[in-house]
């Protein structure tokens, strides 16, 4: 298994540009999520999905969109990039066992985004 993969690894954008961060997992996990990690603020949840066709907002959703058309993929879209979105972005997935039990989360290697 490749686990959780993210592309690109690095990206530089200009203010106002849009882009999509890709995330894929091959573990048939129902639950997927996006976090951003900033110095002194820890990891913060942006959006998450409990299955194909279902998404919901996390702590810091403004400026980001997501969709979940398949179990494997969970792309994160920046609509109009701002310098405040400079961060490291992590995608994670986990299996939801019977009764919606929450299990171990697996993380991708991250995307380092700089917005100028």
Partner 1 sequence: KQEVTQIPAALSVPEGENLVLNCSFTDSAIYNLQWFRQDPGKGLTSLLLIQSSQREQTSGRLNASLDKSSGRSTLYIAASQPGDSATYLCAVSNAGNNRKLIWGLGTSLGVNP
Which residues here bind partner 1, judged by CB under 8 A? 31, 33, 40-45, 48, 50, 58, 90, 92, 96, 100-110
**Cβ nearer to partner 1, comparing 43 with 82:** 43
* Shortest spacing between CB 57 and partner 1, in angstroms: 11
φ/ψ of 100, rounded to 5, equals 70, 25
Task: Please state whether 51 falls in left (phi above 0), alpha (psi between -120 and 50) or beta.
Answer: left
Which residues 6+ apart lie within 8 Å of 8 measured at CB?
Answer: 21, 22, 111
**Cβ nearer to partner 1, comparing 65 with 96:** 96
**Cβ nearer to partner 1, comparing 50 with 82:** 50
**Cβ nearer to partner 1, comparing 16 with 53:** 53
3-state secondary structure of 99: helix
* Shortest spacing between CB 108 and partner 1, in angstroms: 6
Residue matched to tokens 């997501």: 66
Tokens found for residue 7: 């592309």
* Shortest spacing between CB 109 and partner 1, in angstroms: 4
* Shortest spacing between CB 22 and partner 1, in angstroms: 15
31, β-bridge pairs: 94
């Amino acid at each position: 298994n490749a686990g959780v993969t993210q592309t690109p690894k690095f990206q530089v954008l200009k203010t106002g540009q849009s882009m999509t961060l890709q995330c894929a997992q091959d573990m048939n996990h129902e639950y997927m999520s996006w976090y951003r990690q900033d110095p002194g603020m820890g990891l913060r949840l942006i959006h998450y999905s409990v299955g194909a066709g279902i998404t919901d907002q996390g702590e810091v959703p403004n400026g980001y969109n997501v969709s979940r058309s398949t179990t494997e993929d969970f792309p994160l879209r920046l609509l109009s990039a701002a310098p405040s979105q400079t961060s490291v972005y992590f995608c994670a997935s986990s299996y939801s066992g019977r009764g919606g039990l929450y299990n171990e989360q697996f993380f991708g290697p991250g995307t380092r985004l700089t917005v100028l």
